[in-house]
Structure 1
Amino acid sequence: MKHPDLRRVMRLKEVIMLCGLSRSSIYSYIADGKFPQSRKIGSRAVGWDSMEIERWIDDRLAAREWKPLPEKGLIS
């Protein structure tokens, strides 16, 4: 569910659920500079900017090449 006007801090569990990536994949993408960086929000806590995560998802979907499924009975 998108709420473009509602900017908030997302914790890792929510980021995992929203992106569909595993914890290790998220941190691997961060290390490669391909995922939004987490921010320190407390002495032992980090979070992500919800707008950055939504933008990352939008960019990934826009970059994906969508190919229609072949029609049944036709060989491609």
Structure 2
Amino acid sequence: MNQFPTGFIRLNQILGNPKANPPIPAIIPVSKSTFWLGVKEGRYPQPVKLGKRCTAWRVDDIRRYIESVGGEA
């Protein structure tokens, strides 16, 4: 968890991408639809629109979420 960047991360960095080269491990191992439902219901952090077609999450919000569910950040 210490290798988190600062600032913002995109959805594929949160949910992982095994097809990327090198593969990106999941931080929150759920499906995309489950994650978006969790965002809608308030279980996961709210995204930030960085542009018309660019949505990201604050790294600090993801860290706080992981700490709140007993993970390490």
TM-score bucket (shorter structure) = 0.7 to 0.9
Residue type matched to 1:12 in 2? L
Residue 37 (structure 1) aligns with: 46
TM-score, with length taken from structure 2:
0.72
2:56 paired with 1:47: yes
What is the DSSP-based 3-state SS (H/G/I as helix, E as strand, rest coil) of the residue aligned with 2:44? coil
Taking the aligned partners of 1:58 and 1:41, their CA distance within structure 2 comes to 25
Residue type matched to 1:36 in 2? P
Residue type matched to 1:18 in 2? I
Number of aligned residues: 61
TM-score, with length taken from structure 1:
0.70
Residue type matched to 2:61 in 1? E
Please, which runs of 5 or more residues in structure 1 have no aligned partner?
63-76
Rg larger in 1 or in 2?
1
Residue 20 (structure 1) aligns with: 29
Please, which runs of 5 or more residues in structure 2 have no aligned partner?
16-25
